[in-house]
Structure 1
């Protein structure tokens, strides 16, 4: 038998999918930790809290009771029903459980949505900056993400006028996130309503990623689902419910599209984790909600510390984030290249920050993303190290 390996040719679509720079920095940080360095991680967007105790107990019960088999592709009915009740309690919306599809994380929800709606060669509008995987989901189905430069004047989000200006014959829809990764900014309700109306007028689709909607700090929460049954919303158990590794999310779709999503889910994933689904039921109990709200208040406290601290260090924070756990900070007065700055800070100060490189070309060189999904003690120590780092740079100039 020959031991040689054939030189397979990979699909050409891979050329449109870039490496995730956040993870590359995480690997560099891991190498430094192996050398004995203490590293403060403010890069990856993962809550330092884990699942609430009632959720962990529910998972243990599910395993003990043998609830380990495949579920329906759309998710267990009880979970779809409690998610529906959640929309009624928090947002005052009557969302039929039949419209709710439980997925293997928000990533699977986005993958299903793009598989259902993106044709080869078509365009999807999204802001620059935005979460990199969103444009890669579009590219995976041979569509093209049209990245529209969105600065602090637009809160790093799209507006109705931007959507109308950039809509072409090839455009199929828009993909938004509110609150956003990397900026932590939301789209104001009236502006989002105007965007949805403009897209509807064009016969396109509107997808809104709301995985950070539970972590909104400065205004009454609202869901894009209030703007019509044709809006598709993505959500997740990872952020507000602190269940990143459980890989559980959901999407809400127009009821007429649910059979199409079901067909795709059956073939691509079969179902989300049965254990995670049964555990997810416990996320919505009064006991768990109280825990999640306490943690949300802690995230807000961290935001209120880190934003002024970054400004004192010399970063510009042109828009105070109103949700999620990120600050998008302008470092142009401190360094000429955000990528090199984050590498230097990692090596010299032992703090992981993320350059704008991942999030689109418009802000790549001048912005960094700071995640405050870590303890207050870590944030305070990181600020001390950064102050020392920048003080040393000034002294050597």
Structure 2
């Protein structure tokens, strides 16, 4: 094993590259892969939104924007957020993707030694980001049904607890927290004076009930959302963050010296995105959810996802990583659960794929379960 180059900062050694990227590299080597691994919509950015981006580029809107975002988009976001929450102190800015919002949140809120509560399984970026800023991830196990146990959260809180990272609908499970869980978590954070970050990037993909945000119950909740999943703009890097004004101002200060601003032409396109009806796209994903659930229910244990576009079944034989090796040998690309968790018992399927690809994947998974 090669030794670490002496120039490399020690903070980068606490975590490895994303295991998901390694699966993508494997995909490139397969001749006809059944790709149920990637966490992005399988539809393209709708045409009117694409045309708005092209128009912005052709009309010369290619320079830096204000750090907080172009005024028309910020104003539209602010009015929508104010109409929804009517909080006395809630401001918004445009970030370079929701990932950029997460990075700025960690840099703004977490000091070395601060503890951050994360629910396991978790989005792959959460733990490394906490470690990158010197924070201490405190993982709360949510197996087998991926529900939030408020007693576990209360027991995990210490004088060093700085914030809770919450994600619903969740990646990798697709599970949506109940209103009771969300209200309890929001009020507990308020009671303990702990920051609560709600990652709501899958808010559009909420199939069985209306989306509920902890901001409804805690006016200090920091909400991160964006257009990447809802409008298939994953490569356009366009998100937004809203929360208490002092927190938002601190994030903006750091954005000035890091991302500078979100991509300007795509901010103009986001104005068109606001006016584009995406309802049918979301209905199609609810149908895909039903298709994968029906296809796997006789052979796999899983919690039926209520949102996002993932399902997180228990792996036959007990090891998620070994089962994924068998899948890849059959040209099926899925992600081992230990990339998202301290456990290696499950695997993630993304059903953001064509129905034909889903059916091919279901056939392989049934065959492997019955071998």
TM class, shorter-length: over 0.9
Q: Which one of the candidate residues 14, 39, 53 is aligned to 1:59?
A: 53
- Tell me how far apart the structure 1 counterparts of residues 161 and 346 of structure 2 sit (CA, whole Å): 29
- Tell me how far apart the structure 1 counterparts of residues 23 and 217 of structure 2 sit (CA, whole Å): 39
- Tell me how far apart the structure 2 counterparts of residues 216 and 124 of structure 1 sit (CA, whole Å): 26
Counterpart in the other structure of 1:165: 155
Count of residues in Structure 1 that have an aligned counterpart in Structure 2? 368
Q: Report the structure number with the largest CA radius of gyration.
A: 1
Q: Is the 8 A contact 1:86 1:284 kept in 2?
A: no
* Post-superposition offset of 1:96: 8.3
Secondary structure, aligned partner of 1:215: coil
Structure 1: state its 5+ residue gaps. 1-5
Q: Is the 8 A contact 1:109 1:234 kept in 2?
A: yes
Structure 2: state its 5+ residue gaps. none
* Post-superposition offset of 1:309: 1.1
- Tell me how far apart the structure 1 counterparts of residues 242 and 147 of structure 2 sit (CA, whole Å): 22
Secondary structure, aligned partner of 1:100: strand
Query: TM-score with structure 2 length normalisation?
Result: 0.94
Counterpart in the other structure of 2:223: 233
Between Structure 1 and Structure 2, the one with more helix by share is 1
Query: TM-score with structure 1 length normalisation?
Result: 0.88
- Please identify, of 78-87 and 219-228, the stretch whose mean Cα deviation from structure 2 is larger: 78-87
Counterpart in the other structure of 1:341: 323
Counterpart in the other structure of 2:73: 79
Q: Is the 8 A contact 1:80 1:97 kept in 2?
A: no
Q: Is the 8 A contact 2:82 2:90 kept in 1?
A: no
Q: Is the 8 A contact 1:123 1:146 kept in 2?
A: yes
Name the Cα RMSD after superposition. Answer: 1.8
* Post-superposition offset of 1:371: 0.4
* Post-superposition offset of 1:84: 3.5
Deviating runs (4+, > 6 A) in structure 1?
95-98
Mapping 1:1-397, distance limit 5 Å? 7-32=5-30, 37-87=31-81, 92-94=84-86, 99-152=91-144, 155-285=145-275, 288-289=276-277, 292-312=278-298, 314-317=299-302, 319-331=303-315, 334-347=316-329, 349-361=330-342, 364-391=343-370, 394=371
Q: Is the 8 A contact 1:338 1:355 kept in 2?
A: yes
